[in-house]
Amino acid sequence: MVRRSTWLVVGALAAIALAAVVDALRGDEAGAPSAASPTTSSAAPTTEAPPAEPVADQAAFGGVLYYTDESCELRALRLPTLDPEEAPNWDECRFVLSPDGTRASGAGSGWDLHSEPRRGRLFQSEGATIQVSTNGGPEGEPIGGTAPAWRPTGTLAYAAGGAVFEWPTGRVVLSARDLAVAARAHPEIPASGRVRALSVGDLEWLDDDRIGVVLGVPVENAVEHAVAVFEGRRLAWVEFGGPRALFDLRVSANGRFLAATDGERLLLFDGRRGLVETPPFDATRIYGIAWSPDEQWAAVAADSSVYLFRPGEPQPRLRRLPIAARDLAWRGETEPAPLVSTEAAREWLGGAGATGRLFVTEPTCRLSAMRLPTLEWENEPAREPASCRFTLGPGDEPLSETIALSAAGDLRARCSDGRILVSGAGIRAAEIQNACAPAWTPDGRLTFVRDGELWLGTAEPRLLLTRAELREMFGRDARLEEVAWLDDRRVWAVIRADGRLTLAAMTMSDLVYSPTFTAERIDRLRVSSTGMVAAATDRGVVFFDNGGRRAMSFPGATAVAWAPDSVIAAVAAPRQILFVAPISREVVALPLPVEDLEWVVP
């Protein structure tokens, strides 16, 4: 099939990737940058404004930037060349762009990013009424509420009566009591903890379980405005922004970042930790923000320019585009990118005997598959697009990453809102309360984490690993957060102790390998057929050998997949896939930006 050209970064990426690996291997844990902890500060950190570069680095970013100009006409430019592109007809300053970039809708609307594009599902909010519609007409009756936001699963969250609900089920997502927990973090809330009625100004889902909320918190005779993130119904962090109302909450593609503005300031947040540094804009008015499809860049419309910077960097540097914009949206390609500069990767994969199919989601969250070692795209899968983070079920069915599949693929367990839902062929659906982190043993039994301990079974769960046993191994405040089974007796376990996470191999009573690695975040454990493990951390993707020692690190990488029956892995690094042999420490780069990946047998 014919594929359009795209904005892949080519050049010397392979050399850059290898240099990054060498640098990571030279360093140690003490030298890694520390993650910011949740705070309740009232304003973003600032530094002296650096001069904005008049043009952007020509190899830094790409895609299509949509914007409304000073006359509110919708326009589009290809980045980084600024060549004009087609844009939908639109003549209002505020707009919401459809996922495929072919249609626009007005302020107060929102497109379901994962619905069939030809069906065009969206909500439209006016006053205190919300209507969900498709090309075929209204979908259900109008909803009484405000601040609607699509969940990746296709349900809708909305605010009503000081709480957050789900459509169409009517289930409570966040109660007034849940929201009050965020308000109590304010230092001026009375010691009694009494919180007057809160207002919900905006909602956005970061992923299936995390939701961002803009709150109005009554404090004495004023209202303090805040942004909070909840994991299920548990408060993850809250930041107070001052008396000016915050609005235009926008989340990056995978929920790594979110931002809001009060019209004069931009507040930027790490989705897991809270407020992060933004470059000080020499501007009096901020009109809007858009995220690049790969989350590597933010674009801010301020006064008569559009400024770009890398979110999350210390003292991020501004780049300026000479565009006067009143609102922004950023889209990538709608088809799998052409694979270029593939010879080194193809030769290396062939020599290593790496075969199979590599499924990837590109920055647009489009699911595609390539054959290995030839690196040829397959025909597009005839199914609904997956979310950016995914796992594969039987028949290569794309599923949410929150679903844990048994080894045979016939049983599923999913954590949602502090409970696990279990389903599959030949069993009766079950629900396990106050539980999360499901993991299947090699022989098909379900384990899960409850109150920091490991449990086994669904109908009558029994305790496998207690807090008392964890205390003996890791200290008095140790608790379990996640496991991945090595074999029928051993697990790789993520343990929180002394305020940090550590990774250890253990049985249900003893340590197998003493932990040597700690981090602020360790999750998405992936175990190879030989027992090596790789994990996503706040420092990137890290590989550990069979002795529990760090073998290789890839700063900035977000996902990893092992080849079936082989100690070779694919790593989703910034703007490229790295194929890695962690034992020999060989690395080869394929310049293709992806968000997630899974490697399956042919």
**pLDDT tens, 513-544?**
777 788 888 989 999 988 889 999 988 899 98
Q: What pLDDT shows up at residue 442?
A: 92
Q: What pLDDT shows up at residue 54?
A: 47
Nearest to 100 by CA among 90, 88, 109: 88
Q: What pLDDT shows up at residue 418?
A: 84
Query: What letter does residue 82 receive in the DSSP assignment?
Result: T
Tokens of 276: 């992060």
Query: CA-to-CA distance for 113 and 98, rounded, in angstroms?
Result: 8
Query: CA-to-CA distance for 600 and 356, rounded, in angstroms?
Result: 6
Asked whether the bond before 50 is cis by omega within 30 degrees of 0, the reply is no
Q: What pLDDT shows up at residue 337?
A: 58
Query: CA-to-CA distance for 584 and 567, rounded, in angstroms?
Result: 10
Q: Which residues of 150-159 are buried (b: 16+ CB within 10 A; e: fewer)?
A: bbbeebbbbb
Query: CA-to-CA distance for 239 and 340, rounded, in angstroms?
Result: 43
Q: What pLDDT shows up at residue 518?
A: 87
Are residues 356 and 602 in contact, defined by beta-carbon separation less than 8 angstroms? yes
For residue 139, count CB atoms less than 10 angstroms from its CB and return exposed for 0-12, middle for 13-18, buried for 19 or more: middle
Q: Give all strands of the β-sheet with 596-600 in edge-to-edge order.
A: 376-377, 367-372, 356-361, 596-600
Nearest to 475 by CA among 492, 493, 499: 499
Regions in the chain scoring below 50 on pLDDT: 1-51, 53-59, 382
CATH fold of 393-515: Neuraminidase (2.120.10)
**Which secondary structure element, helix H or strand E, spans residue 350, and what is its range?**
helix 343-351
Q: What pLDDT shows up at residue 262?
A: 93
Q: What pLDDT shows up at residue 153?
A: 77
Q: How many angstroms separate the Cα of 425 from the Cα of each of 35, 429, 542, 566?
A: 43, 9, 35, 29
Q: What pLDDT shows up at residue 466?
A: 94
* All structural domains of the chain with their residue ranges: 6-35+343-385+528-602, 36-331, 393-515
pTM over 0.95: no
CATH second-level architecture of 36-331? 7 Propeller (2.130)
Query: CA-to-CA distance for 376 and 264, rounded, in angstroms?
Result: 48
Are residues 21 and 597 in contact, defined by beta-carbon separation less than 8 angstroms? no
Q: What pLDDT shows up at residue 38?
A: 35
For residue 57, count CB atoms less than 10 angstroms from its CB and return exposed for 0-12, middle for 13-18, buried for 19 or more: exposed
